[in-house]
Amino acid sequence: MTDTPAHRAVLLLRLAGPLQSWGDRSTFNRRDTRPEPTKSGVIGLLAAAMGQDREEPLDDLNQLRLGIRVDQAGTLLRDYHTVSDYRGRPLPQAGVNAKGIQKPTSPAKHTHVTTRYYLQDAVFLAAVTGPTDLLTTLNQAVHAPMYPLALGRRSCPPTQPISLGLHHTSLEDALRETPWQATHQARERYAAQLGRRQNRGRPVYPARIDLSATLEDPAGDDVRHDVPLSFHPQARTFTTRRVRHTWLSAPTGFPRPDTTDDHLPDADAGHDPFALLGW
């Protein structure tokens, strides 16, 4: 089958949950999270849904182009850990002796500190575009996954629904025309905060909202090192891709939005990066 626009589609995924963590780097005692999903994290979720083992090639999934819309930025959570031996012995080091037994730390170390970061109460709209037959299979797999799905780490299960279905349009149009996916509480906070900013004395419910988005683009001016070449436990490798950042005006989905001119945000108000946080 010829790969023409008629044979391509967009699969929309709503990535939401109590906790998410999208790391593109880590050390022995610190694991960070990016402020939005990585391509390796989204590909990993789709591979798990398909039941692919970590050793299997990812060529078919890596061909998919990714776009991420930030519907609810969430807040950063720091998870602080300490590890020690209950017998009071010094902790072992990573190196082993000639018999393959881990050597004790020198000087003796009895407590190991680790820090992990998560996004809490975040909501993202992820769009992947590629051949329709592949995305149809992925959509079915997300609805009935072979392995448990996770938002970056296995300890971060997603809420439902995940799949918002297939759309036969462009990646950017799919992200632009899908209604805002933030929680009811976040949407109401936004309406109240917008009303205060405009001195209305009541919440303001606009028809559309400007949301930040990151789109995979060969001509983009930013680089992300998050394309997985292999998830093999002993040979995890990644490469880079180019992205561009933009703002998309999306429908808010409010039942009765304010559409008259005197209820809309000022034309020169611009983008307020703190609006979704309720500041």
Q: Give me the residues paired with residue 19 across strands.
A: 120
Q: Which domain holds residue 58?
A: 7-82+107-178+210-251
Residues 41 and 56 in one domain: yes
* Strand residues in the chain grouped as ranges (E): 8-20, 30-31, 65-72, 75-83, 92-96, 102-104, 112-131, 163-167, 208-216, 222-230, 237-251
pLDDT at 108: 82
Q: Would you say residue 134 lies in a domain? A: yes
**CATH number for the domain including 214?**
3.30.70.2660
CA distances from 14 to 139, 157, 265, 279 (A): 12, 13, 27, 25
Which ranges of the chain would DSSP assign to H, the alpha helix? Answer: 39-50, 59-62, 132-143, 171-177, 184-197
**CA angle centred on 75, ends 174 and 79, rounded to 5°:** 125
- What pLDDT, in 10s, does the model give residues 255-264? 888 865 444 4
Output phi, psi for 44, to 5 deg: -60, -40
Letter for the amino acid at 97? N
193 and 113 part of one domain: no
172-229, pLDDT tens digit by residue? 999 999 999 999 999 999 999 999 999 989 999 999 999 999 999 999 999 999 999 9
Same domain, 221 and 191: no
In a domain, 52, yes or no: yes
Domain-embedded: residue 199: yes
Q: Report if residue 88 sits inside a domain.
A: no
More confident residue, 40 or 275: 40
Residue 266 has pLDDT above 60, yes or no: no
pLDDT band at 99 (very low <50, low <70, confident <90, very high): confident
Q: Positive or negative CA dihedral for 223, 213, 43, 167?
A: negative
Kindly state whether residues 35 and 171 are assigned to the same domain.
yes
